[in-house]
């Protein structure tokens, strides 16, 4: 999965870091915006998200799994957005997962802080 056409219309999860070093997962619901940096390296993000196993995939309980891994979780509201915070981390992130995410060359940096929750409405929030 390396071309934008490969993620358009499909559920695609990507990751970003905020100004405090917290990491979030963004679920596109097949329609949410994806920063160009992520699109150009979609395989990196896809490999990590596919490696997170959950018996609850396809249900809202999957958000609890991601939060349990120490991730902020944002989901795209169909059809017009925005991304909205559906879960806050419920545990500390394991060092191995953090190292793997920090090793992603296309990890965008969000100018704000995920701890404020709320919504992310624009790709412009990711310089």
Location of structure tokens 């929030």: 125
Task: Look over the chain and give the mean of its residue pLDDT values, rounded to a whole number.
Answer: 86
Burial class of 80 by CB neighbour count within 10 A (0 to 12, 13 to 18, 19+):
exposed
Reported pTM: 0.88
Task: Tell me the mean pLDDT in the region 14-41.
Answer: 91
Q: With 80 as the cut, is the pLDDT of residue 125 above it?
A: no
pLDDT tens profile 71-107: 999 999 987 789 999 999 999 999 999 999 999 989 9
3 pLDDT tier (thresholds 50, 70, 90) = very low
Residue 65 and residue 62: Cα distance in Å, rounded? Answer: 5
Q: Which of 98, 93, 1 is nearest to 44 (CA)?
A: 1
What is the pLDDT averaged over residues 57-69? 89
Q: How far apart are CA 12 and CA 34, in angstroms?
A: 9
112, two tokens = 């704000």
> What is the pLDDT confidence band of residue 57, given thresholds at 50, 70 and 90?
confident
Residue 56 confidence (pLDDT) above 80 = no
Instruction: Give the burial class of 51: count Cβ atoms within 10 A of its Cβ; 0-12 exposed, 13-18 middle, 19 or more buried.
Output: exposed
pLDDT higher than threshold 70 for residue 124: no
């Amino acid at each position: 999965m390396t071309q934008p056409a490969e993620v358009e219309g499909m559920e695609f999860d990507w990751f970003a870091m905020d100004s405090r070093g917290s990491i979030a997962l963004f679920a596109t619901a097949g329609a949410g915006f994806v920063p160009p940096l992520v699109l150009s390296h979609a395989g990196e993000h896809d490999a990590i998200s596919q490696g997170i196993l959950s018996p609850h995939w396809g249900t809202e309980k999957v958000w609890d799994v991601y939060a349990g891994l120490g991730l902020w979780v944002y989901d795209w509201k169909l059809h017009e957005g925005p991304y909205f915070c559906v879960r806050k981390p419920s545990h500390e992130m394991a060092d191995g997962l953090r190292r793997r995410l920090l090793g992603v060359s296309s990890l965008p940096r969000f100018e704000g802080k995920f701890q404020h929750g709320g919504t992310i409405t624009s790709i412009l929030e990711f310089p």
